[in-house]
Structures are given as C-alpha cells and as structure tokens.
C-alpha cells in the first residue's frame, strides 16, 4: 500500500511542483527528440540537423520568391541577357512587359503548360479557358481568355503581362486571382502562358470564318457545345 501510495503521489509531482514528474508509467507524455544543432549518434555524419533533400521547395523567409526573381537578382544568378531577364521577370530590359516567349515554343513546353493549367487553372478558368470552371457555380467569376477587353490576357496583349498576373496575382481578396509564384517556377509560368495562347487560337472569331476553307468554316459554324459543359 505504501508503495502504491508513493507511486501515485510521484505521478502528481508535475501538477504541484515546478520540477518534472518522475514518470513511473510515462504513457508517452514526453518523447525523445533532437534539439537543433546538437550531435546525433544515430546519423553517420553525427549531425542532428538533417540536410534539406534535393528538390525540396523552400517556403517562407528563406526564399522570398518575388525578390529573388527581381531583375537584379536574375542578372546575377541567371545571366543578364534579354531572355534570361524575361524568363524570370516577364519584363524587357527597358522594364516593359515582354512580348513573345523566352522559353522554346515546342510540344514539350506546351504539354508542360497543359499539365499545369489543368492542375491549377481549369477549376476557375475552365478547361477551354472561357471562365466556366466548376467554381463559377459558387459565384467566382474568373476571367475568360476569349474576352478581348481583358487587360492582361486578351489576345494581342504582351505575354509578360500574364506573367505578371501569375507572379503577383491580380484583384486581391477572396475572389481575385491569386499569385502562383510559389507553385509555378518561372519556366512553368511561361509554359502555362503558352498553353493559354494555344487555347485562344482554338476559337476563330465569327468575322474571320469566311477566310477559312469552306468545309472547315461549315464545321465550325455548326459546332454544338457538349451538353455537360453547356451553361
């Protein structure tokens, strides 16, 4: 009885005393752990801090991506030729939005853009880029890339403007367009822009139909939307 009484008393020690309890039955209350910058007998190199795995994406202060990809930084890190600066900032050397693509316009990059677009953008902007993604049902009206009045994405506007939107976001707030600089590398952003341009080319303005071969013009005129994506 004396033994049982002392054990239960000792278990209470942390409630009533400032020093840690003697844990007769620890119940995993405290777990072994390594403190930062201590040594470890477990790892071969003797360090408790593990090196960052290759390809890990840094978040937070370590990489303030917006500043890291500022033109000054890119000039130092990626070269100061026009294309490298455009690749990382979306700008020409004079600071205006870049026109064209600093990445290769090929199938590989187009496929990369399609993958990323389907993953990140289609939910709002729609699979075909017309702004009719599933989120529209929740009153989130994303831009249509076929809307010629759009400030950045309208056909004919410089591609660097879309890069700016993808890097910084636009509109802000809950219903605006978020920045994707933490999810898309500069190259991936350009690939997505390439895919948007490809989507835009899939629609021929009615006024231009007559310039197409007549059988193609007829097919296009008689196209009906899929019932499932009709709005």
Contact residue for ligand HEC among 72, 82, 148, 175 (CB under 6 A): 175
CA-based end-to-end distance of the chain: 78
Q: Among residues 99, 68, 93, which one has the least CA distance to residue 163?
A: 99
Contact residue for ligand HEC among 7, 24, 63, 151 (CB under 6 A): 151
Distance between CA 111 and CA 191 in Å, rounded? Answer: 8
Is residue 127 near ligand HEC by the rule CB under 6 A?
no
Is residue 152 near ligand HEC by the rule CB under 6 A?
yes
Is residue 123 near ligand HEC by the rule CB under 6 A?
yes
10 Å CB burial of residue 126 (0-12, 13-18, 19+) is: buried
* Alpha carbon distances (Å) from 118 to 1, 6, 181: 70, 65, 17
Residue 192 Cβ vs ligand HEC, minimum distance, rounded to whole Å: 5
Q: Check if the beta carbon of residue 198 is closer than 8 Å to that of residue 128.
A: no
Residue 132 Cβ vs ligand HEC, minimum distance, rounded to whole Å: 12
Q: Among residues 164, 165, 155, which one has the least CA distance to residue 201?
A: 155
Residue 105 Cβ vs ligand HEC, minimum distance, rounded to whole Å: 17
Number of residues that bind ligand HEC (CB under 6 A): 23
Ramachandran sector of residue 183 (left: φ over 0; alpha: ψ -120 to 50; beta: rest): alpha
Contact residue for ligand HEC among 97, 103, 125, 186 (CB under 6 A): 125
**Among 47-55, 59-67, 89-97, 175-183, which window interacts with ligand HEC (CB under 6 A)?**
175-183
CB of 79 or CB of 176, closer to ligand HEC: 176
State the residues that interact with ligand HEC by CB under 6 A.
Answer: 120-121, 123-125, 135, 140, 142-143, 150-153, 162, 165-166, 170-171, 175-177, 180, 192
């Amino acid at each position: 009885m004396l033994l049982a009484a002392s054990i239960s008393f000792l278990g209470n020690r942390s409630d009533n005393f400032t020093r840690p309890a003697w844990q007769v039955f620890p119940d995993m209350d405290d777990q072994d752990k390594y403190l930062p910058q201590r040594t470890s007998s477990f790892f071969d190199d003797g360090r408790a801090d593990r090196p960052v795995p290759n390809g890990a994406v840094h978040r937070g202060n370590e990489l303030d991506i917006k500043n890291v990809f500022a033109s000054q930084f890119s000039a130092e890190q990626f070269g100061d030729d026009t294309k490298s600066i455009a690749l990382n900032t979306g700008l020409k050397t004079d600071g205006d939005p870049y026109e064209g693509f600093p990445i290769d316009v090929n199938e590989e990059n187009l496929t990369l853009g399609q993958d990323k677009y389907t993953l990140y953008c289609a939910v709002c902007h729609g699979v075909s880029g017309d702004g009719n993604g599933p989120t529209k049902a929740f009153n989130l009206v994303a831009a249509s890339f076929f809307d010629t009045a759009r400030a950045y994405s309208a056909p004919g506007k410089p591609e660097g403007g879309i890069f700016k939107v993808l890097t910084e976001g636009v509109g802000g707030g809950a219903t605006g367009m978020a920045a994707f600089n933490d999810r898309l590398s500069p190259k991936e952003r350009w690939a997505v822009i390439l895919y948007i341009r490809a989507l835009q080319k899939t629609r021929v303005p009615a006024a231009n139909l007559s310039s197409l071969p007549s059988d193609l013009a007829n097919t296009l005129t008689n196209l009906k939307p899929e019932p499932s994506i009709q709005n």
